Structure 1
Amino acid sequence: MQKKLRLRNRADFSRVYRHGKSFANHQFVVYWSYKKDIEQFRVGISVSKKIGNAVVRNRLRRQVKEIVRSHQHEIAKHMDIIFIVRKGALGKSYQELERSVLHVLRKSSLLKPKKG
């Protein structure tokens, strides 16, 4: 994922948590907030130590980043988005995680409408 698409600042995370909206399923919680001064969207990913050791957490983080990167043309612009990984994501295949991420984005209206 490109650096300009990352949400890294503690203040930005706090703003999204405080003023944003959220939606959840068994594997993920997604928080989002509109931000008009960014041209695309930015993504932050949070994986708690309760999920597992550093290897497990980083693998889940990398998989979510890759899912977002591969579907970035479908995600709405001018948004700050935070994914929180839940224990339900442990042991899931990449395809199951991808379906779950797309489900939570669709339900939160963060995917662009399909043309045609």
Structure 2
Amino acid sequence: MRKSYRVKKESEFQRVFETHNSVANRKFIIYQMAKPGQKHFRVGISVGKKIGNAVHRNWVKRRIRQTLLEVKAQIKPDVDFLVIARPAADGLEMPEVKKKLVHALKRADLLNEK
């Protein structure tokens, strides 16, 4: 993802957390904050140490990023959101990651219906 699509600063992460607007399934938690007038969505990805070592955490992050790239056109533009991987997300293959993450995004009402 390009830099303009990322939530990177700690203060930006905290601002999204403080909205307390979250949705979860067994693999992912989605926190979101509306940002009216924004050109495109911004996303932050967090994978904790409960997932495993750095290799496992980066493996999960790559799959999350790839899924977001594949559904990028469907994601609503006026929102900042965080994707937090739960420990159960470790070891999932790409199709399963996509299925579970899209499910969480739909529950959070972040996807435009085609």
| Same fold (TM > 0.5) | yes
- SS of the aligned residue for 1:7 comes to coil
Alpha-carbon separation, structure 2, partners of 1:60 and 1:91: 8
Matching residue of 1:68: 68
For residue 26 of structure 1, report the CA deviation from its aligned partner. 0.6
Matching residue of 1:45: 45
Q: Deviations over 1:30-86 (max 9, x none)?
A: 000001242100010001111100000011111101110111000011110100000
- SS of the aligned residue for 1:23 comes to strand
Matching residue of 2:16: 16
- SS of the aligned residue for 2:31 comes to strand
Q: TM-score, normalised by structure 2?
A: 0.96
Alpha-carbon separation, structure 2, partners of 1:58 and 1:90: 10
| Runs ≥4 residues deviating over 6 A | none
Matching residue of 1:77: 77
Supply the AA of the counterpart residue of 2:109: S
Supply the AA of the counterpart residue of 1:72: K
- SS of the aligned residue for 2:51 comes to coil
Q: What root-mean-square deviation, in Å, do the aligned CA atoms of Structure 1 and Structure 2 show?
A: 0.9
Q: TM-score, normalised by structure 1?
A: 0.94
Structure 1 gaps of 5+ residues are none
